[in-house]
Structure 1
């Protein structure tokens, strides 16, 4: 007598108290993984979203399957989600998918395509989805880059050269600061080094404007606020609290720096 063998995700669905939530969690992880890798920020965000879901089991097993981008599991999850989140019911899930897609502040081409697939899967037309995307991010939902066009590679090369130029500029600035500091008596670190460290905490370089500093602070403060990690336990809350304090101190220091006024 043949024995039916279930995949890991099928077993999770069989044990789930709410299969739609289990499917939604897997697809949210797929969105995050499509950016290239599943960051700790993404893991914490997805786990926080999972706390309000009704699947009834440890979300880590689902996250691990989604991180591997198991296509069979993704297809099954899409079929399950489509049955219960079609049309007007799709908006909350799509909002979550957008939030996960832009944790780094930009939308990768592969992730752009996946968002479009999910919107189409759940019966949300392009225009309403674009409006939802703008509501969540404050930015327009652009068309994804097309790797088959020459302009795509030209833009990538231009971005790479700009990144190299900015990196060289930061190195020259750092060398100048060290040279200036070495001419002082004692071992006091130059003021510019502290500003650069603060900018680095906010993910910015020496060319950042006051407006960019404010935007980066708001984005990071929201992502790392300890309240978002309450459901994950004391260790995660403590870690988030330390990170949040670093972000806040960096922002407060830069706001007092005359160069950013």
Structure 2
């Protein structure tokens, strides 16, 4: 006689310390899987809920069964729950599964129908479940939009039109801000350029104001006597005078006769006068 082969969920029920709790956990995992991919935060939330259940086995197989949408296992879990958790015992479970379904925002269409199925399975009337849902989530229990209705697609079109209008307004606002920034930048550049021109004119004006006037004829002659160029400083004038005075002082040629001495004296007088004039003029 061939041995009976058990499914993964049947094996978990055989291992479970409390089969109703194991069935409840599978249906909760089914709610998570019906929202889409089961994320790490979903697994963490599921593990925290499982602390209050007497299952005694690993939770990962339950999540894998729910993620594979094993309808045979889900049907078996529903039968176990219907047998052992109907009536008043259904309300704690429905509160938990409702909070789980609404934990990440509005209900998906799949979770809406799952909650309706579970409430009906456990014998809770629709009006009572609506009150339970609102008390648990703070939101009314509303049916999702029906894609088979014309009003659904009309509302979608209005939403798309509003979305496109907001995007168009945002683009216009962005373009206006960019143009304003560009104009402001150009204005700053013009202002900086005007300031540079102003500073340049002021500098040229100060330079022209402080520029020494060209030397007159007498000054040029005095400088030429001392062997200097126009613009010579007082220190340069003094050094030139001392050097020429040592060379052309009459005492240096006194022994060479009166004529040479007289010529040296005249030369020295011109040097002395040129020096005195330049020192006074500077």
State the TM bucket, normalised to the shorter chain.
0.5 to 0.7
How many Å separate the matches in 1 of 2:113 and 2:144?
Answer: 7
How many Å separate the matches in 2 of 1:173 and 1:103?
Answer: 36
Question: Can you list the C-alpha shifts for 1:72-95, whole angstroms capped at 9, x where unaligned?
Answer: 111000001111110111111111
Alignment match, 2:17: 17
Please state how far the C-alpha of 1:60 moved relative to its aligned partner. 1.4
SS in 1 for 2:127: helix
Alignment match, 2:70: 70
How many Å separate the matches in 2 of 1:110 and 1:54?
Answer: 28
**1:116 corresponds to 2:116:** yes
Please state how far the C-alpha of 1:159 moved relative to its aligned partner. 3.8
Alignment match, 1:80: 80
How many Å separate the matches in 2 of 1:168 and 1:51?
Answer: 51
Structure 1, 125-134 or 61-70: larger mean CA deviation: 61-70
How many Å separate the matches in 2 of 1:41 and 1:165?
Answer: 36
Closer/same/farther in 2, CA of residues 139 and 9 from structure 1, 3 Å limit: same
**Length-normalised TM-score, structure 1:** 0.62
Contact 1:42-1:103 within 8 A present in 2 as well: no
Q: How many residues align?
A: 181
Closer/same/farther in 2, CA of residues 93 and 151 from structure 1, 3 Å limit: same
Higher CA-based Rg: 2
Alignment match, 1:214: none
Alignment match, 1:101: 101
How many Å separate the matches in 2 of 1:45 and 1:169?
Answer: 41
Question: Can you list the C-alpha shifts for 1:105-148, whole angstroms capped at 9, x where unaligned?
Answer: 11111211110000000000001100000011111111232222
Closer/same/farther in 2, CA of residues 39 and 79 from structure 1, 3 Å limit: same
Closer/same/farther in 2, CA of residues 120 and 5 from structure 1, 3 Å limit: same
How many Å separate the matches in 1 of 2:145 and 2:44?
Answer: 29
- The gaps in structure 1 that reach 5 residues or longer are 185-261
How many Å separate the matches in 1 of 2:163 and 2:33?
Answer: 24
Closer/same/farther in 2, CA of residues 158 and 56 from structure 1, 3 Å limit: farther
Alignment match, 2:268: none
Flag the structure with more relative contact order, 1 or 2, with Cα contacts below 8 A and sequence separation at least 6.
1
Contact 1:113-1:144 within 8 A present in 2 as well: no
Contact 1:23-1:77 within 8 A present in 2 as well: yes
How many Å separate the matches in 1 of 2:173 and 2:37?
Answer: 32
Alignment of 1:1-261 (within 5 A): 1-162=1-162
**Length-normalised TM-score, structure 2:** 0.57
Contact 1:25-1:63 within 8 A present in 2 as well: no
Closer/same/farther in 2, CA of residues 171 and 100 from structure 1, 3 Å limit: farther
Please state how far the C-alpha of 1:168 moved relative to its aligned partner. 7.2
- The gaps in structure 2 that reach 5 residues or longer are 186-282
Please state how far the C-alpha of 1:157 moved relative to its aligned partner. 3.8
Closer/same/farther in 2, CA of residues 159 and 81 from structure 1, 3 Å limit: farther
Please state how far the C-alpha of 1:174 moved relative to its aligned partner. 8.6
How many Å separate the matches in 1 of 2:79 and 2:144?
Answer: 25
Alignment match, 1:246: none
RMSD over aligned CA atoms reads: 2.6
